[in-house]
Amino acid sequence: MLHRGTVTIRTAKVLATEIRAGTAFAAMMRAISEGNPRNYGSLVGATFVD
């Protein structure tokens, strides 16, 4: 079950390749899709700037 404000790793990988680079959203999707699963917790509360 997903919670509000969550994204699956599969979705993050797709979005990271499909959306325009240079946006905070794109940076967040890349961080999720390229990140080490052991470090996912460090992404909670992270800030991504346009």
Q: Cα dist. 19→23, 32, 35, 40, 44 in Å?
A: 9, 14, 18, 21, 21
At 6 the pLDDT is 83
- Report domain extents, the chain: 1-36
At 1 the pLDDT is 58
**Predicted model pTM:** 0.79
Instruction: Convert the pLDDT of each residue in 1-50 to its tens digit.
Output: 567 778 889 999 999 999 988 999 999 999 999 999 999 999 989 999 98
Distance of CA 2 to the CA centre of its chain: 15
